[in-house]
Amino acid sequence: MLIGLKKLISGTATIAVVTTMTACNTGTIEGANRPTTAPANTTQQTQPVAQSTTAAQTTTAAQTPLNEITIIFATRKDSKNLQDQANQVSEFLTKQMGIPVKAVIGDETAAVEGLRANKGQAAFIAGRASLKAEQLAQAKMYLAEVRDDYSQGYTYNSVFVVAKDSPLQPQADAKSTLAQLQGQRIAFASKTSGSGYIFPLSELVGLGFVDGPDRLENFFSQVTYGDGYTSALQAVLRGQADIAAVSEYSLAEPWITAEEAAQLRVLQAIPKVPAHGIVIDDSVPAAQREQLINALLLLNEPAQNAMFQGLYNSEKLVKVNHQEHLASLRQALERAKIQP
């Protein structure tokens, strides 16, 4: 993204960001020292397309190093004392980077707006928010978390959950299994949830049961949307819904108790939901971006790992390719006819 464009939109985005985010140490979100780029070489405009890559690399190399970095940590239900935990991580990163690294807490919408308004240079956010950050701020995900409750390491399952004694049973294939949902009552986690709405809807569209988000009532007898995994699961536990669409890791505390989990079972799983990860804005010069990535990977080491796990109960970070990691989510959004 061109730096000038970011500054043009920062005025309107800043108001929303400031009201929803808190910063450590100062209590405010401070604007970062934005990099500058070398003037464009006008003679390159007439050169063949093959030369444009070299020009872009030269521009990136000419960015002025930042004198501080702000990382936005998105709130999650299973995070505890997130600001304190993030402060510890930021202090460690400050030592590794040699410049101040600040920790800011906010919801995912505020995190994306923070990147767009130049109030943050990196953020720890979910896949859909990462796509939005790419769209609005040219940020990309470079690291993804690995958790022991993710069945595929740094991807996990979206699941259709039913009561343990439900007559709905797994069949020979996904289409036969999900065909049983016709005429049933479903509770989605929320309309913004990847595993609790986007991937289940995409699966139903892909199998030909529904045409899109506006046609769910033609297949189900009742459709409800909660405010998270817990509300969808509680709807099944209370007999208010026959199926809940949630994440595989929500069948445990802090979302529901072990006793409640014992009353439920997974009917069908949908794999490859991309894990949360760390996106870095294009305003960070390439050398500093690599330095930040390497510093974050040091959180995997035994001496720092407990501090890292304190954030979101993640085990470690792994390098990912932004396009490849989020490809399944892009496909799900497109098939479900939902904008990023």
Q: Which CATH number fits domain 155-273: 3.40.50.980, 3.40.190.10, 2.60.15.10, 3.10.620.30?
A: 3.40.190.10
- Beta-carbon contacts of residue 55 (< 8 Å; ≥ 6 apart): 40, 41, 44
Does a cis peptide bond (omega within 30 degrees of 0) precede residue 254?
Answer: yes
90 class by beta-carbon count within 10 Å (0-12 exposed, 13-18 middle, 19+ buried): buried
**Separation between Cα atoms, residue 100 and residue 69, nearest integer Å:** 6
Provide the pLDDT for residue 24. Answer: 42
Is 340's pLDDT higher than 60?
yes
- b vs e for 143-167, b when ≥16 Cβ sit within 10 Å of the residue's Cβ? bbbbbeebeeebbbbbbbbbbeebe
Mean pLDDT of 222-249: 97
**What integer pLDDT is reported at residue 23 of this predicted model?**
44
More confident residue, 228 or 62: 228
CB 292 within 8 A of CB 97: yes
Q: What DSSP character marks residue 338?
A: -
Q: Please give the average per-residue pLDDT across 10-35, as a whole number.
A: 41
> Domain boundaries in the chain?
3-150+275-326, 155-273
CATH architecture of 3-150+275-326: 3-Layer(aba) Sandwich (3.40)
Specify the 3-state DSSP secondary structure of 12: helix
When pLDDT is cut at 50, 70 and 90, the band that residue 84 belongs to is very high
pLDDT in tens, 94-129: 999 999 999 999 999 999 999 999 999 999 999 999
Task: Specify the pLDDT at position 62.
Answer: 60
List, for residues 304-338, the tens digit of each pLDDT value: 999 999 999 999 999 999 999 999 999 999 999 99
Share of the chain above pLDDT 90, in %: 77
pLDDT band at 78 (very low <50, low <70, confident <90, very high): confident
pLDDT score at 25: 41
- Is the pLDDT score of 31 beyond 60? no
Same fold, 3-150+275-326 and 155-273: yes
DSSP secondary structure string for all residues of 220-289? -SEEEE-SSHHHHHHHHHTTS-SEEEEEGGGSSTTTS-HHHHTTEEEEEEEEEEEPPEEEE-TTS-HHHH
Structure tokens at 71: 């990382």
The helix (H) or strand (E) run that includes residue 18 is: helix 3-20
Average pLDDT over residues 252-275: 97
| Average pLDDT, rounded, for the chain | 86
Residue 138 predicted with pLDDT over 70:
yes
What is the pLDDT at residue 215? Answer: 86
Helix (H, G, I), strand (E, B) or coil at 144: strand
